[in-house]
Amino acid sequence: MGYHAGDYDVIVIGAGHAGCESALAAARMGCETLLITINLDMVAFMPCNPSIGGPAKGHVVREIDALGGEMGRNIDRTFIQMRMLNTGKGPAVHALRAQADKFLYQHTMKETIELQDNLELRQGMVEQLIVENGECKGVITKTGAEYHAKTVVLTTGTYLRGKVIMGELMYESGPNNQQPSIKLSDNLRELGFDLVRFKTGTPPRVLRESIDFSKTEIQPGDEKPRYFSYESTADTAAQEEQLPCWLTYTTSNTHQIINDNLHRAPMFSGQIEGTGPRYCPSIEDKIVRFHDKPKHQIFLEPEGRHTSEYYVQGLSTSMPEDVQLSMLRSISGLENVRMMRTGYAIEYDAVVPTQLWPTLETKLVPNLFTAGQINGTSGYEEAAGQGIVAGINAARKVQGKESVVIDRSQGYIGVLIDDLVTKGTNEPYRLLTSRAEYRLLLRNDNADLRLTPIGYEIGLIQEERHERFLAKKEAIANELARLASVKIRPDEDVQQLLAEAGTAPLQNSVDAVTLLRRPEITYSQLDVLCPPDDDIAADVKEQVEIQVKYSGYIEKQLLQVERLKRMESKRIPDDIDYYAVHGIASEAKQKLAEIRPLSVGQASRISGVTPADISILLVYLEHYNQVVASRS
């Protein structure tokens, strides 16, 4: 029998990476928040790889941090290895990647949540949403507790009708043998949501003491680790010595074992109905599709400091357990390995994300938001990025404030959400830097410049941090102005320094900006040629150097962004009847009516909507506005 268990502003269901960010954001914005999850030991759990960041994903972590989220701070406190990737490439794609102590990561996040004002953490299995007059009003748990709230954020990860598959074995389960959430899925379907079945997988874990590391290559962390959070310092971040990862390879024997057992692979026997992602296929999939590749990389990654478990990256599989063991033992260095956990594939229900507004509120049930894997994404960072946006908007709605949408020129989070709600996805969606059309503007180094103002405005960035941010901005502007005015004369010292740098001598005096644009010249050389009066912080120098060096490319992209903004600023009224618009092609009408884009910009990104349709829509909107204006 049900009982009234409490009233809240915001309820977040699920305490994974999306749920944690949602709940923390809502609570920090002043909302009474309940975070309810099936198992309190699984808060911020990493069911797959023990790492955070990398290209695009690392950018998202920085963006979450700039908005006032937790993921960046949390990984900085719990990493066991930190590496900046892509340093040989342009600054836009430099990408920070951490190996996490996954147990410490969980405990640290759980503690942060427990200590957060306005936030209550509760174990419970939500089975039903309370929906009255079409609006979401709360949740009901398996134990009969009825929690009421003004907004609800659903972050169910892979738990919705989760099903684990290992070879012939198949059973209902969430990740890592957790209880799946069955009834909530039925409830969503009853409410009219369109659900899809997706699939993902994870490799086996092995015992460190059974690995012959001498047959592998060491992969150490950076000597001087960088941090994700703009708040982290050497004092607040993890300080222990970093742990390495190890690189090894599959052998022809591995491939033979897989080929011999393909008939037992659920991927090919038709047992798996869910759509898996192309970007992280299982090892059996890789061997079938790329059969001429003689060997595949395998990275061995520690799962934490106080555990002997190693993650076998590159060997994601749903083969039967006995085959998995033979596969493992065919890999160099793993000849005598002990398997501790078996790899598996997991199928789960996800919501078709075109059913969401860009705020992540569902169109079908007002006050209900969804974030993370339930929206068809994959990855901790993608989940967390949606989580903070859903949390912010759930809180803003409670407070009667305007919602927050990050656009494609402001962040990868904007690219991610816009892609999901505008185009949908037919496989688990992973962020890639190539998905961002303004990649050069969405850099790892400038996430604070892009998003701190938003974080501050919504109250997630504190005054003190904001002031530091403003000071940094000013320092960048001052230094850019100084370099533009300072003249460098072609005297002997200068010419010699230029010769050493391998660049042409000066004919006349030039300003420092012009000189810095030369490919061979770096800011550190300007430091010698025209030193600033006061010391300049390293992150300011970095910004100045990037902004000057790549100004040509940056300006090109800024021009494109201006165009985007103009299209985004043309709002489409929600009550528009596309079927009544004369001239729009019928396929486009259907798509527009389904997605209900908020702006002409968003409309133009819907597949099947042509430039001619957009032209007609613009004409119609102008007419519409005239009619509305004349009525009022």
Partner 1 sequence: MIEDTIAAIATAVGEGSIAVIRISGPEALQIADRIYTGKDSLASQPTHTIHYGKVRDPQSGETVDEVLVSVMRAPRSFTMEDVVEISCHGGIVPVRRTLDLLLDAGARMAEPGEFTKRAFLNGRIDLAQAEAVIDLIRSRSDRAFSIAMKQAEGSLSERIRMLRHDLVELMAHIEVNIDYPEHDVEEMTNTFIKDKTLSAIDVIEGLLRTAKQGKVMREGIITAIVGKPNVGKSSLLNELAQEERAIVTDIPGTTRDVIEEFVTVNGIPLKLLDTAGIRETADVVERIGVERSRGAIADADLILMVVNSNEPLTDEERALIVQLQGKPMLLLLNKSDLPAGVDKKWLSEHIEQERMIEMSMKEHRGIDQLGEAIAKMFFSGEVETADPTYVSNSRHIHLLNQAQHSLQEALQATEQWMPIDMIQIDIRTSWEKLGEIVGDAVGESLLDQIFSQFCLGK
Torsion (CA) 98, 154, 109, 145 in degrees, nearest 10: -160
472 and 453 in contact (C-beta within 8 Å)? Answer: no
Query: Does 496 engage in binding with partner 1 (CB under 8 A)?
Result: no
Query: Does 56 engage in binding with partner 1 (CB under 8 A)?
Result: yes
**Residue closer to partner 1, measured from CB, 293 or 487:** 293
Among 41, 531, 610, 628, binds partner 1 (CB under 8 A): 610
CA 207 distance to own-chain centroid: 30
Rounded-to-integer distance, Cα 524 and Cα 547, Å: 15
Task: Print the binding letters for residues 355-384 with partner 1: x by CB under 8 A, - otherwise.
Answer: ------------------------------
From residue 442, how far is each of 68, 93, 134, 406, 407 by CA, in Å? 18, 9, 39, 12, 11
Least distance CB 612 / partner 1 (angstroms)? 4
Q: Of 428-487, which residues contact partner 1 (CB under 8 A)?
A: 432-435, 439-440
**Residue closer to partner 1, measured from CB, 151 or 282:** 282
| Placement of tokens 């005239």 in the chain | 626
Phi then psi for 136, rounded to 5 degrees? -80, 130
Burial 499-515 (b: 16+ CB within 10 A, else e): eeeeeeebeeebebbbb
**Residue closer to partner 1, measured from CB, 125 or 588:** 588
272 and 318 in contact (C-beta within 8 Å)? Answer: yes
Query: Does 285 engage in binding with partner 1 (CB under 8 A)?
Result: yes
Least distance CB 23 / partner 1 (angstroms)? 28
For residue 620, give the 3-state DSSP assignment: helix
528 and 488 in contact (C-beta within 8 Å)? Answer: no
Query: Does 268 engage in binding with partner 1 (CB under 8 A)?
Result: no
Among 316, 131, 364, 59, which residue's Cα sits nearest to residue 205? 316
Rounded-to-integer distance, Cα 385 and Cα 59, Å: 10
Query: Does 343 engage in binding with partner 1 (CB under 8 A)?
Result: no
Rounded-to-integer distance, Cα 341 and Cα 194, Å: 34
338 and 151 in contact (C-beta within 8 Å)? Answer: no
Among 194, 212, 493, 562, binds partner 1 (CB under 8 A): 562
Query: Does 102 engage in binding with partner 1 (CB under 8 A)?
Result: no
Query: Does 313 engage in binding with partner 1 (CB under 8 A)?
Result: yes
Among 205, 204, 202, 185, which residue's Cα sits nearest to residue 193? 185
Among 89, 189, 487, 489, binds partner 1 (CB under 8 A): 89
Query: Does 90 engage in binding with partner 1 (CB under 8 A)?
Result: yes
Least distance CB 421 / partner 1 (angstroms)? 16
Q: How many residues bind partner 1 (CB under 8 A)?
A: 62
Among 22, 316, 355, 359, binds partner 1 (CB under 8 A): 316
Partnered with residue 97 across adjacent β-strands are: 53, 83
Residues in the chain: 632
Q: Of 576-595, which residues contact partner 1 (CB under 8 A)?
A: 582-583
Q: Which stretch binds partner 1 (CB under 8 A): 60-68, 176-184, 450-458, 565-573?
A: 565-573
Least distance CB 194 / partner 1 (angstroms)? 21
Q: Pairing between strand 33-37 and 119-123?
A: parallel
**Residue closer to partner 1, measured from CB, 252 or 615:** 615
Rounded-to-integer distance, Cα 312 and Cα 315, Å: 6
Among 95, 96, 323, 494, binds partner 1 (CB under 8 A): 95
Query: Does 314 engage in binding with partner 1 (CB under 8 A)?
Result: yes
| Placement of tokens 């006061």 in the chain | 534
Among 484, 528, 619, 628, binds partner 1 (CB under 8 A): 619
Sign of the alpha-carbon dihedral angle for 373, 379, 382, 388: positive
Q: Which stretch binds partner 1 (CB under 8 A): 164-172, 273-281, 398-406, 521-529?
A: 273-281
Among 36, 52, 71, 280, binds partner 1 (CB under 8 A): 280
Q: Of 194-213, which residues contact partner 1 (CB under 8 A)?
A: 203
Q: Which stretch binds partner 1 (CB under 8 A): 2-10, 140-148, 174-182, 291-299?
A: 291-299
Rounded-to-integer distance, Cα 398 and Cα 10, Å: 8
Among 50, 590, 86, which residue's Cα sits nearest to residue 311? 50
**Residue closer to partner 1, measured from CB, 40 or 616:** 616
Least distance CB 613 / partner 1 (angstroms)? 9
**Residue closer to partner 1, measured from CB, 403 or 514:** 514
DSSP conformation letters of 59-96:
HHHHHHHHTT-SHHHHHHHHEEEEEEE-TTS-GGG-EE
Least distance CB 423 / partner 1 (angstroms)? 8
For residue 344, give the 3-state DSSP assignment: strand
Among 159, 227, 380, 550, binds partner 1 (CB under 8 A): 550
Q: Pairing between strand 3-13 and 33-37?
A: parallel
Q: Which stretch binds partner 1 (CB under 8 A): 220-228, 230-238, 383-391, 560-568?
A: 560-568
Among 73, 89, 25, which residue's Cα sits nearest to residue 443? 89
Among 187, 282, 452, 602, binds partner 1 (CB under 8 A): 282
Query: Does 259 engage in binding with partner 1 (CB under 8 A)?
Result: no
Q: Name the residues that contact partner 1, by CB under 8 A.
A: 48-49, 54-56, 85-86, 88-93, 95, 203, 278-283, 285-286, 289-290, 293, 296-297, 299, 313-314, 316, 432-435, 439-440, 519, 550, 553, 556-557, 562-563, 566-567, 570, 582-583, 600, 607, 610-612, 615-616, 618-619, 622-623, 626
